[in-house]
Amino acid sequence: MSARRIACLLGPTASGKTAAALAFAQRRPVEIISVDSALVYRGMDIGTAKPTAEERALAPHHLIDIIDPTESYSAAQFRNDALKLVAEIEGRGRIPLVVGGTMLYYMALTRGLNDLPEANPEKRAELDAEAARDGWPAMHARLMAVDPETAARLAPNDSQRIQRALEVFMLTGRTLSAILKDPKKSQESEPEFVPIALEPSDRSVLHGRIEKRFDEMLKAGLIEEVESLRGSGDLTSTMPSMRCVGYRQVWEYLDQEIDYATMRDKGVFATRQLCKRQLTWLRSIEDRKIVDCAIEGATEAALAQIQAVIES
């Protein structure tokens, strides 16, 4: 694998990552590697704001539609797949561009996850039993006490990631946030990944975009999409795919736990909270190159940063 620098266009939801990536694809022979834990699922198109067929025709996209919603996909799998794709894309004489907002995936790619312990069924069963008794918000509070940095990045009901963070602490005596900060083992064969962060100077701009986009998703058929997924009969509301923002709230609506207006408001709020957590992750990356995504001309500014990375 070459040691040249790879541009990574990162940012919270609705920050304009897709628009900037596709604009660059019209200038250079690019292949896009998605860094998004929701885009991996087949059949989940509307609620994930998955690039359209027309958009994907502008440049090859990778790590999109690779598993069914009943399956799981880990950060370690992402790292292995992304490194392999970078080598293949460069071998074709094209430019790999890493684009997305799942920061755990990005950290896995750039720092590695070799020091994290493997899943422990006994510890997970113990944590599941405690969560069944006390609830995941209480487990989130427990995580906040031992690893506030990781807890700040997770929603109180993000059972999968809360469980993993607590499991890591129980097995190693170290916090997940501390382990992720460990210096990466020297890998001379790996390229240098350069983070370009789309961050808003005014977060209310993103909040407005998020509200508008969620309403557009509902109009485009998000409820019908979730109904179709549920119709397969093999999905549950606790699976990682159905814990994705938007899908979780629509599932509650279809179960008649909440009304339409509440579902809509909860979906918007959950997306804003996701945005906040993504920004928390981003701001922990000290060497990132920042582009203000809340101002006019943000796309051109992002293109200039990508170009600078590729030409350096």
Give the E-state strand segments of 164-250 in sequence order: 192-199
Residue positions in the annotated binding site for substrate?
Answer: 13-18
Distance, CA of 184 to chain centre? 21
Q: Which residues pair with 97 in a beta bridge?
A: 32
Tokens matching residue 116: 């994290």
| Residue 297 vs residues 19, 26, 98, 302: alpha-carbon distances, Å | 12, 17, 21, 9
Q: Is 308 left (phi over 0), alpha (psi -120 to 50) or beta?
A: alpha
Query: Using an 8 Å Cβ cutoff, are 183 and 114 in contact?
Result: no
Are 197 and 293 in contact, with CB atoms under 8 Å apart? no
> Residues comprising the binding site for ATP?
11-18
User: Binding site: what residues are annotated?
Assistant: 11-18
The residues near 174 (Cβ < 8 Å, ≥ 6 apart) are 168
Angle ∠(281,159,128) on CA atoms, nearest 5: 140
DSSP 257: S
Q: Strand 61-62 relative to strand 30-35: parallel, antiparallel, unpaired?
A: parallel
Residue with tokens 């083992």: 185
List Cα–Cα distances, 192 to 8, 197, 228, 232, in angstroms.
10, 16, 42, 42
> How many Å is the Cα radius of gyration of the chain?
19
Encoded tokens for 188: 């001379």
Q: Judge whether 289 and 197 are in contact, CB under 8 Å.
A: yes
